[in-house]
């Protein structure tokens, strides 16, 4: 076992290699090992391959298994992109979120996080439309699943995940508004973490105390819900225990703290996260994507040299796709997503 202090960890992150001029490089970044347990997850020599560049803020990647392709969003430009192995990135859907005239005060009209439901439909955190929506990938018909909590409109739904039982967990920070919490468009006086059945119906509240709830993910056995807080004053991942019906059993607890990395001014904040079949968390945070054990121990870091917003598993389940500021990239793993 490697014994690593916080100072040594930060030094290792700072030393992670990256290639400048990302738009012209085939590979970028590097992988840092903090613990020998990383050897079962990824080879530190694995290349991080660039698939596309030139986006304003790449986000929300999802692998569409039935079609064998990747989708990801660029919320500021209101475009959803598609990448298929052996082919260049192309525009898949425009608008990805809000259609028509963009109201004054809306900063991001596009969709953000995405997932695929049991029927193969695309479920999106539609920041611009301020809703959780479903898109039939055969007809491209869009259906609103939820857009209100007790009659008040959501702010800008940011990210989501779907349980095997068909429950959608989603975050609703004010990032889509130009004035954030002070926006006159904001109707709910808190930034919530919610759940709703994939078929729609009543929206349930998981937590209303979070200033900037962002990425959400579930453990393989569906008993734990993770949420990343993109809050510079509280840069954390929190975890909630879930009952058999999918409702939260507690008020959540601290799972991982990124304050040292924020203090060190590493690029990014806690953002999107995914969980592999062994319960390890792949969490976008300051400096890149951290690989954490189910107990929250740092195993390694995948760094691109830019802030990473989100990630997802795809292809045979052993490829990790990363949306990293102006680019999208991929790296091979030894593990699979659940």
DSSP output for 221-264: TS-EEEEEE--TTS-EEEEEEB-TTS-BSSS-EEEEE-HHHHHT
Residue at 141 is within a domain? yes
Question: Hey, CA dihedral for 140, 146, 148, 153, is it positive or negative?
Answer: negative
Tokens standing for residue 332: 């091979």
Calpha distance 173→171 (Å, rounded)? 6
Domain count, the chain: 1
Residue ranges of alpha helices (H) inside 46-159 are none
pTM higher than 0.85: yes
The range of the structural domain enclosing residue 132 comes to 56-288
Query: What is the DSSP-derived secondary structure letter of residue 36?
Result: G
Q: How confident is the prediction along the chain (338 residues), in pLDDT tens digits per residue? A: 333 333 343 344 433 333 333 344 489 999 999 999 999 999 999 999 999 999 999 999 999 999 999 999 999 999 999 999 999 999 999 999 999 999 999 999 999 999 999 999 999 999 999 999 999 999 999 999 999 999 999 999 999 999 999 999 999 999 999 999 999 999 999 999 999 999 999 999 999 999 999 999 999 999 999 999 999 999 999 999 999 999 999 999 999 999 999 999 999 999 999 999 999 999 999 999 999 999 999 999 999 999 999 999 999 999 999 999 999 999 999 999 98
Residue at 337 is within a domain? no
| Token pair 């085939």 in the structure block, residue | 26
The domain that holds 88 is classified in CATH as 2.120.10.30
Residue at 324 is within a domain? no
pLDDT, residue 17, reads 34
What's the gap between Cα 103 and its chain centre? 26
Residue at 226 is within a domain? yes
């Amino acid at each position: 076992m490697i014994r690593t202090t916080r100072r040594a960890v930060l030094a290792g992150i700072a030393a992670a290699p990256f290639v400048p001029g990302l738009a012209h490089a085939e590979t970028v970044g590097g992988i840092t090992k903090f613990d020998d347990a990383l050897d079962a997850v990824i080879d530190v020599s694995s290349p991080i391959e660039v698939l596309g560049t030139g986006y304003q803020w790449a986000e929300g990647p999802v692998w569409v298994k039935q079609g064998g392709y990747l989708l990801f969003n660029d919320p500021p430009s209101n475009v959803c992109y598609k990448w298929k192995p052996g082919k260049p990135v192309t525009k898949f859907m425009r608008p990805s979120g809000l259609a028509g005239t963009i109201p004054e005060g809306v900063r991001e009209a596009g969709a953000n996080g995405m997932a695929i439901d049991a029927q193969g439909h695309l479920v999106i955190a539609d920041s611009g439309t301020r809703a959780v929506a479903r898109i039939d990938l055969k007809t491209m018909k869009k259906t609103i699943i939820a857009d209100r909590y007790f009659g008040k409109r959501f702010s800008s739904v940011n990210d989501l995940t779907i349980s095997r039982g068909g429950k959608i967990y989603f975050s609703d920070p004010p990032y889509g508004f130009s004035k954030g919490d002070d926006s006159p468009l904001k109707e709910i006086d808190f930034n919530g973490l919610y759940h709703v059945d994939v078929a729609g119906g009543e929206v349930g509240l998981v937590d209303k105390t979070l200033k900037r709830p962002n990425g959400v993910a579930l453990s393989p056995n569906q008993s734990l819900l993770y949420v990343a807080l993109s809050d510079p004053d509280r840069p954390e991942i929190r975890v909630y225990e879930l009952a058999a019906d999918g409702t939260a059993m507690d008020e959540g607890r601290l799972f991982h703290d990124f304050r040292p990395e924020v203090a060190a001014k590493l690029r990014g904040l806690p953002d999107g996260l995914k969980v592999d079949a062994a319960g390890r968390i792949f969490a976008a945070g300051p400096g890149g994507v951290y690989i954490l054990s189910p107990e929250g121990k740092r195993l390694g870091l995948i760094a691109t040299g830019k802030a990473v917003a989100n990630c997802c598993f795809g292809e045979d389940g052993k490829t990790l796709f990363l949306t990293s500021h102006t680019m999208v990239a991929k790296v091979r793993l030894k593990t699979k997503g659940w």
